[in-house]
Structure 1
Amino acid sequence: MSAVGEEAALELVVTLHRLLRSLGRAVPHRRIPPTQLIVLALLTQLGPSRIGVLAERIPCSQPTATAAVASLESAGLVRREPDPTDGRAARVVVTEDGVRALNDVAHSEAEALAGRLGTLPPEDVRRVLEAGALLRRLTEQGD
């Protein structure tokens, strides 16, 4: 590993996961399970996709991705359409309601995070926001 040890990187990963779970719990009306939220986010990012691609990107098993898509489809948040490159296959497409639901969750979680940031001194808030920009760069390297 580079200048950052694996132990420090692991601590950061665990902390980020805990923060995201904590923010999810802070939104009491959220009715979309985490795997389904990931599917909506991926479809928004990637566009129409096959279930196999979604399973690979989540990552999860194909049956888990299929179940998530089926739940989202029954809620009207995604729909299936024929794959134009392979008539035997289908692609999953996020609907306007799906985009709206994903945005609602994101705004609710952002509101919860803003409340927590408001408890920190201004210098710490600045540092967290700077770290956010760096984390965004790291995310883009992996996409």
Structure 2
Amino acid sequence: MDDTTTDAALRREAGELTPPLYALARVLRLRGVDEAGLRPLPPSDLEVLRYVLESPGVGVGVLARELGLQISNVSTTVRGLVAAGLLRREPDPRDRRAVRLLPTTDAMHGMARIEQAWAEVFADSLATLDDEQRAALAAAVPALRALGARCAHSGTPGPGGESRPARPGLRGRAVRNALARPARSR
């Protein structure tokens, strides 16, 4: 199989995967907060909060870069989350000019309630699937985690500052062609 055939097969697989993954992500964005009995949060607030919960002590600059957001937008979101009692700022012990972001106990408890509500939403839906479908989904979890991690870091600078290609398995002309093509809307 040559690079062009491989590229076409990867695009076809991606085209089949993205709509159902997007639909699931939409369910998570729209459900959970209400079911958990919490005050609704805008998606950007929830995204910032989840990142800080996963990486306590992160700074605003790193947070903005990792989420692909403008620093000013992240700063505004952080101010709102601090005012809501979900995040707290703490001086960085290594650089007193910098601030580390930490989740509050309310944020940790609230996110646990949201994740429990998400699990209940998914459990209700999983109950309608047959055993084979549930086993296929369970078996896909490691691959989905790996895909999520690679998607999150594709196109980010490598150790030497060079940009990593989104598909490291492609080489030479195929990489240049894949990176030069505009994304098609579906």
| TM-score normalized by the length of structure 2 | 0.68
Q: Tell me the secondary structure at the aligned position of residue 115 of structure 1.
A: helix
Match of 1:5 among 5, 10, 20: 10
Q: Does 1:18 align with 2:27?
A: no
How far off its partner does 1:28 sit?
6.1
Does the 8 Å contact 2:28/2:118 carry over to 1?
yes
Indicate conservation of the 8 Å contact 1:80/1:91, yes or no.
Answer: yes
Structure 1 residues 15, 67: CA separation in 2 closer, same or farther (over 3 Å shift)? farther
Give the conservation status (yes or no) of the 8 Å contact 2:86–2:106: yes
Provide the aligned length of Structure 1 versus Structure 2: 143
Q: How far apart are residue 117 of structure 1 and its match? A: 1.0
Q: Deviations over 1:77-123 (max 9, x none)?
A: 10011111221121111111111111111111111011111111111
Shift in CA distance, 111/65, structure 1 to aligned 2, threshold 3 Å? same
Local SS of the residue matching 1:41: helix
Q: Which has the larger radius of gyration?
A: 2
Match of 1:49 in 2: 58
Of residues 90, 94, 102, the one that matches 1:93 is 102
More helix by proportion, 1 or 2? 1
Between the aligned partners of 1:95 and 1:83, the Cα distance in structure 2 is 17
Aligned-partner SS, 2:97: strand
Question: Which of 90, 106, 112 is the equivalent residue of 1:81?
Answer: 90
Contiguous gaps of at least 5 residues in structure 2: 154-186
Quick check: 2:32–2:115 contact (8 Å CA) kept in 1? no
What is the identity percentage for the equivalent residue pairs of Structure 1 and Structure 2?
A: 31
Cα separation, partners in 2 of 1:107 and 1:139, compared to 1, 3 Å: same
1:33 corresponds to which residue?
Answer: 42
2:137 equivalent to 1:132 = no
Measured in 1, the distance between the counterparts of 2:61 and 2:118 equals 29
5+ residue gaps, structure 1: none
CA distance in 2, matches of 1:7, 1:67: 39
Q: Does 1:105 align with 2:110?
A: no
Give, in angstroms, the shift of residue 8 of structure 1.
2.3
Q: Structure 1 residue 61: deviation in Å? A: 1.1
Distance in 2 between the 1:14 and 1:71 partners? Answer: 32
CA distance in 2, matches of 1:115, 1:48: 36
SS of corresponding position for 2:98: strand
The one of 119, 124, 129 aligned to 1:120: 129
Alpha-carbon distance in structure 1 between the residues aligned to 2:80 and 2:25? 22
Contact kept in structure 2, 1:44 and 1:99, CA below 8 Å: yes
Amino acid at match of 2:135: R
Aligned counterpart, 1:68: 77
Change (3 A) 1:10 1:63: farther
